[in-house]
Amino acid sequence: MLPSRRQLCLGLTAATTSPLLGGCFPFDEGPDPVGPIAPLKSQVPYPVGTCAMSGQLDDPDWARLARTHFNQITPEWEMKMEYILTSRASHGDGYRFDASDRIVDWAARHGMGLHATTLIWYSQGEEAFRGLSPADYRQQFDTYIATVAGRYAGRVRGWDVVNEAVAENGEGLRQHHWAQSLGEIDHMVRAFEQAKQADPNAVLFINDYNLENNPKKGATFLNLVERLLKAGAPIGGIGTQSHLDIEIPEGQITRFIGQAAQFGLPLHVSELDASRRRGDGTPDVRTVSYRIRQQIERVKELSFAFHSLPAEQRYALTLWGVRDTDSWLRRGRYDDGKDSPLAFDANGHPTAIARALSDGWRQDTSSATS
């Protein structure tokens, strides 16, 4: 089983080459070379973002690429509850903002927008909230959101308020400690209400993954959005992480983007990447050229579908990393050192994904509302 993104971001697995995967990727030809490209952020009229860990800010090569090609930053891990909140948080003294403050300040210093993630996530917070009375549980839930969102009020464009609420297979919603203590829908409504109070001007998102890859999950997610809006949750935007499976059928991405757009809310492609390797670690008999073609077509489809939205619905398109070697997909013992899921390689050269983004943006959108 592959390690989770949580484990990888925490550094619980070492980045090593697995001999088990050696020779599993046949090379009939190398990738087509991608020449110099215009800065990604200069090619479109909406923000093009990337994610950052505070330690990357000290890497001059990373910083140069980030400043050149991106104009919005999302903290990859260090604005999430597991970093900010310690087990002492229930006593009011467990908030940790050193890394998130640094990323926010760096983005501001370089004239970049900031998208914040995430306030409530099913996988975090259980230990810190364990043992609280129902009244204290509600109070600490509200206090956390008020403290964190309030700290950055006026400095962020938007917040992922609720993250990954839909079950992995798309069959209903996840069951977890927030839902058990505050209600399956009520805890989400409450989170949005508290975030709105803390930062009235931020765009408040509900965010999830595999929405394009799994139509059932996409439909369940959009049904959840509708339920929350009917319940009065002040949702301001829809986030789709877009960790793309390059084997999904043509048109599936476009259909989901069109369905999500029907709410009239801003959309955020919030964590875009597209791995060329299978996620289960099994031998891959597909040729490299085939995988590159598939990758280009899926990323191109996504960039065109997003670019074709009405201007007011294009919040941002964010890649989940700058260079391939920065990607969560290139951490851990399953990495063979060959995957190229992002727009720049280890040396900062554009990849096939950079070309696909540009090609998608350059397609004729005259039939789309703009």
pLDDT in tens, 218-273: 999 999 999 999 999 999 999 999 999 999 999 999 999 999 999 999 999 999 99
* Strand ranges inside the chain, DSSP E: 48-52, 72-75, 113-121, 158-163, 203-208, 237-240, 243-244, 267-274, 314-319
Give CA–CA dist 65/51, Å, rounded: 12
Q: Which residues contact 301 (CB under 8 A, 6 or more apart)?
A: 250, 251, 253, 254, 360
Given 76, 78, 164, 301, the catalytic residue: 164
Note the residue count of the chain. Answer: 370
| pLDDT for the residue 12 | 37
Q: Is 226 a catalytic residue?
A: no
Please tell me whether residue 316 adopts helix, strand or coil conformation: strand
DSSP-assigned beta bridge partners for residue 344: 323, 350
Strands 203-208 and 158-163: parallel
Given 271, 297, 301, 312, the catalytic residue: 271
What is the chain's alpha carbon radius of gyration, rounded to the nearest angstrom? 20
Each residue's pLDDT expressed in tens, for the chain with a length of 370 residues: 444 555 555 543 333 333 233 333 333 344 445 668 999 999 999 999 999 999 999 999 999 999 999 999 999 999 999 999 875 544 456 899 999 999 999 999 999 999 999 999 999 999 989 999 999 999 999 999 999 999 999 999 999 999 999 999 999 999 999 999 999 999 999 999 999 999 999 999 999 999 999 999 999 999 999 999 999 999 999 999 999 999 999 999 999 999 999 999 999 999 999 999 987 767 888 999 999 999 999 999 999 999 999 999 999 999 999 999 999 999 887 678 889 999 999 999 999 999 999 999 998 655 444 4
| pLDDT for the residue 337 | 86
In the chain, list all ranges with CATH 3.20.20.80.
74-202
- Pick among 3.20.20.80, 3.40.50.300, 3.40.47.10, 3.90.1150.10: CATH of 74-202: 3.20.20.80
Give CA–CA dist 86/35, Å, rounded: 46
| pLDDT for the residue 36 | 84
| pLDDT for the residue 113 | 98
Q: Is 297 a catalytic residue?
A: no
The four Cα atoms 304, 308, 313, 316 give a dihedral, to 10 degrees, of: 30
User: From the centroid of its chain, how far is CA 107?
Assistant: 18
CB 34 within 8 A of CB 347: no
| pLDDT for the residue 335 | 78
